């Protein structure tokens, strides 16, 4: 395959990928067999209104004033002074639910700011257990408790409290979906984690659409636009989570969709390119895998040995040995690919297939210098024989013999190449000596003997011509 065809295939996939990515400009940009099952969590506004009514309770004025003063002190980070007001107050107002629940909430906030999370959890839980808070405030506290448990590493409790939040949630936002997905993910419940994380992505897109619509409306009406500006991109971590989950769930087609959607927002984040390449490889989509690797190479995103070698192998599979060799050698010279005999050998083989024989011989020699046997020197000698560079054939072949470790057939070929080289250099006695060595190796006797007869006749002819010249 020519490089032009290879590039054409690469660009075709790039345009196809870009076309699919453009969906993400108007919606989420992907739909998998797992995300298609997802439904929004929580309850409707109508269902919320049917919840059992709770009495409206609030603090008495004298308690309210002290709580406000404590909040002011917290704003100034005078934590101990705030506690000096709140803790005695807690003891005095236990009998009044309105006073008590207010003080409990502020104490929880104080301890959260002081990063005393055990105490913050304790007071938030007390406030919730009174069951006098409005449902929406209670939900905020339940979400806060889930966050605090996550910080502490108590993931099971975090999941429990965020699940409680969703029981009465009306149009939950992406932050709560993200929290639920994170808890399920850390509990290795990937099948349960996918939907909340997907819904976080959906919720974010909906939120951004509303902001843009509000700005457009304000402009159309000649009014000042809202202060809230749309964000440029969703969280990269959402796509990383969803793609990894789909890979673990073996939905490689779904994972590929998510990787492409992520690249719409994060085109320079290497993890999405490598992930997309891996997904295509598992789907056995060789041309797509190659296209992604090729684009990574062009974008200078390759910095691992396996990436260069993988691209080189794909060039080989696509019958583009020149580019396979060039890729491998680039990685070797940069030091990205480990300088090992097998890597230089693979490079040399591709140069040889591409008929770049000088480069092939040089690569074999690079590998031979690192090897503990003479096999790669023997191959270099074979390439120099094709080039009819006879002195180098002798030199490299003898290095192969010095290093040793050659099998019988390899040894025979080395002897034969040295014999041929000496024959072409008109050093017939040396040539015969090496052909005789080759003749002792099984399966090479007949060929070597034929060469011996040929060289002896050449030697006799040369001697006769010398005699005539002396007459």
Q: What is the pLDDT of residue 8?
A: 43
Q: What is the pLDDT of residue 27?
A: 78
Q: What is the pLDDT of residue 454?
A: 95
Would you say residue 12 has pLDDT above 50?
no
Banded model confidence at residue 23, pLDDT cuts 50, 70, 90 = very low
- Per-residue pLDDT, averaged over 222-239, amounts to 92
Banded model confidence at residue 1, pLDDT cuts 50, 70, 90 = very low
Q: What is the pLDDT of residue 470?
A: 64
**Quick one: how far is CA 179 from the chain centroid?**
23
276 closest CA partner among 300, 293, 264: 293
What is the C-alpha end-to-end distance of the chain, expressed in Å? 61
What is the pLDDT of the chain when averaged over all its residues? 91
Report the C-alpha gap between 422 and 397 in whole angstroms. Answer: 12
Task: State pLDDT tens for residues 154-185.
Answer: 999 999 999 999 999 999 999 999 999 999 99
Would you say residue 20 has pLDDT above 70?
no
Cα–Cα distance list, 153 to 111, 118, 146, 182 (Å): 18, 12, 10, 12
Q: Note whether 250 and 281 are within 8 A (CB).
A: no
Banded model confidence at residue 15, pLDDT cuts 50, 70, 90 = very low
Task: State pLDDT tens for residues 388-428.
Answer: 999 999 999 999 999 999 999 999 999 999 999 999 999 99
**Quick one: how far is CA 85 from the chain centroid?**
53
Q: What is the pLDDT of residue 35?
A: 95
Q: Note whether 148 and 154 are within 8 A (CB).
A: no
Report the C-alpha gap between 281 and 285 in whole angstroms. Answer: 6
Cα–Cα distance list, 151 to 21, 157, 183 (Å): 35, 11, 11
Q: Show me where the domains of the chain are located.
A: 26-213, 389-471
Would you state the structure tokens that stand for residue 62, as one six-digit string? Answer: 């004298």
Do the domains at 26-213 and 389-471 have one common CATH topology? yes
Architecture field, domain 26-213: Alpha Horseshoe (1.25)
Query: Who has greater pLDDT, 57 or 201?
Result: 201
- Per-residue pLDDT, averaged over 457-471, amounts to 80
Q: Note whether 205 and 212 are within 8 A (CB).
A: no
- Per-residue pLDDT, averaged over 28-36, amounts to 94
Q: Where are the beta strands (DSSP E) in 100-234?
A: none
Q: Note whether 248 and 232 are within 8 A (CB).
A: no
Q: Based on the number of CB atoms within 10 Å of its own CB, is 426 exposed (0-12), middle (13-18) or buried (19 or more)?
A: exposed
- Chain position carrying tokens 């408790």: 145
In 10 A of CB 368, how many CB atoms?
25
As assigned by CATH, the class of the 389-471 domain is mainly alpha
Query: Who has greater pLDDT, 15 or 455?
Result: 455
Would you say residue 94 has pLDDT above 60?
yes
Instruction: Report CA torsion sign: 46, 52, 55, 57.
Output: negative
Report the C-alpha gap between 138 and 165 in whole angstroms. Answer: 8
The helices-and-strands tally (H runs, E runs) of the chain is 23, 0
Q: What is the pLDDT of residue 10?
A: 40
Q: What is the pLDDT of residue 471?
A: 56
Would you say residue 4 has pLDDT above 80?
no
Q: What percent of the chain has pLDDT over 90?
A: 86
Q: What is the pLDDT of residue 226?
A: 87
Longest dimension (CA), the chain: 137
Would you state the structure tokens that stand for residue 131, as one six-digit string? Answer: 């069951």
Would you say residue 112 has pLDDT above 60?
yes
Would you say residue 14 has pLDDT above 90?
no
Q: What is the DSSP letter of 2?
A: -
Would you say residue 6 has pLDDT above 80?
no
The residue count for the chain:
471
Would you say residue 17 has pLDDT above 80?
no
| 437 CB-near residues (< 8 Å, 6+ apart) | 415
Would you state the structure tokens that stand for residue 197, as one six-digit string? Answer: 């994380």
- pTM beyond 0.85: no
In 10 A of CB 202, how many CB atoms?
17
Report the C-alpha gap between 220 and 404 in whole angstroms. Answer: 84
Task: State pLDDT tens for residues 269-320.
Answer: 999 999 999 999 999 999 999 999 999 999 999 999 999 999 999 999 989 9
Would you state the structure tokens that stand for residue 50, as one six-digit string? Answer: 């049917």
Banded model confidence at residue 43, pLDDT cuts 50, 70, 90 = very high
Q: What is the pLDDT of residue 421?
A: 97
Would you state the structure tokens that stand for residue 443, as one six-digit string? Answer: 């399966």
């Amino acid at each position: 395959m020519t490089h032009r065809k290879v590039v054409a295939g690469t660009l075709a996939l790039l345009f196809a990928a870009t076309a699919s990515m453009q969906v993400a400009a108007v919606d989420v940009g992907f739909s998998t067999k797992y995300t298609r099952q997802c439904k929004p969590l929580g309850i409707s506004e109508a269902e919320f209104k049917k919840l059992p009514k709770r009495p409206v309770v609030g603090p008495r004025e004298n308690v309210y004033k002290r709580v406000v003063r404590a909040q002011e002190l917290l704003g100034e980070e005078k934590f101990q002074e705030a506690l000096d007001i709140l803790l005695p107050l807690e003891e005095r107002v236990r009998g009044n639910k309105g006073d008590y629940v207010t003080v409990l909430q502020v104490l929880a906030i104080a301890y959260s700011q002081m990063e005393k999370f055990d105490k913050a959890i304790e007071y938030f839980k007390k406030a919730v257990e009174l069951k006098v808070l409005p449902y929406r405030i209670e939900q905020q506290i339940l979400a806060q408790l889930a966050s605090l448990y996550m910080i502490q590493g108590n993931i099971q409790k975090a999941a429990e409290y965020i699940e409680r939040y969703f029981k009465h949630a009306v149009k939950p936002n992406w932050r709560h979906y993200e929290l639920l997905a994170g808890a399920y993910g850390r509990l290795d419940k990937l099948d349960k984690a996918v939907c909340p994380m997907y819904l976080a992505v959906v919720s974010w897109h909906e939120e951004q659409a509303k902001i843009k619509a509000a700005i457009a409306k304000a402009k159309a009406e000649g009014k000042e636009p809202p202060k809230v500006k749309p964000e440029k991109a969703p969280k990269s971590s959402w796509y990383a989570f969803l793609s990894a989950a789909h890979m673990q769930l073996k939905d490689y087609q779904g994972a590929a969709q998510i990787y492409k959607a992520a690249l719409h927002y994060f085109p320079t984040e290497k993890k999405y390119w490598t992930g997309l390449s891996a997904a295509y490889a598992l789907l056995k989509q060789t041309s797509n895998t190659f296209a992604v690797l090729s684009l990574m190479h062009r974008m200078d995103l390759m910095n691992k040995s396996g990436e260069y070698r993988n691209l080189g192998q794909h060039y080989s599979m696509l019958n583009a040995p020149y580019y396979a060799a060039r890729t491998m050698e680039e990685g070797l010279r940069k030091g990205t690919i480990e300088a090992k005999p097998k890597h230089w050998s693979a490079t040399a083989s591709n140069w040889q297939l591409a008929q770049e024989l000088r480069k092939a011989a040089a690569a074999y020699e690079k590998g031979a210098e690192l090897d503990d046997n003479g096999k790669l020197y023997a191959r270099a000698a074979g390439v120099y024989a094709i080039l009819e560079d006879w002195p180098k054939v002798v030199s490299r072949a003898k290095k192969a013999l010095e290093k040793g470790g050659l099998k019988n057939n390899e040894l025979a070929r080395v002897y034969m190449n040295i014999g041929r080289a000496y024959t072409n250099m008109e050093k017939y006695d040396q040539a015969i000596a090496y052909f005789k060595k080759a003749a002792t190796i099984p399966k090479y006797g007949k060929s070597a003997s034929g060469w011996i007869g040929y060289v002896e006749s050449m030697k006799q002819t040369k001697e006769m011509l010398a005699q005539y010249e002396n007459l």
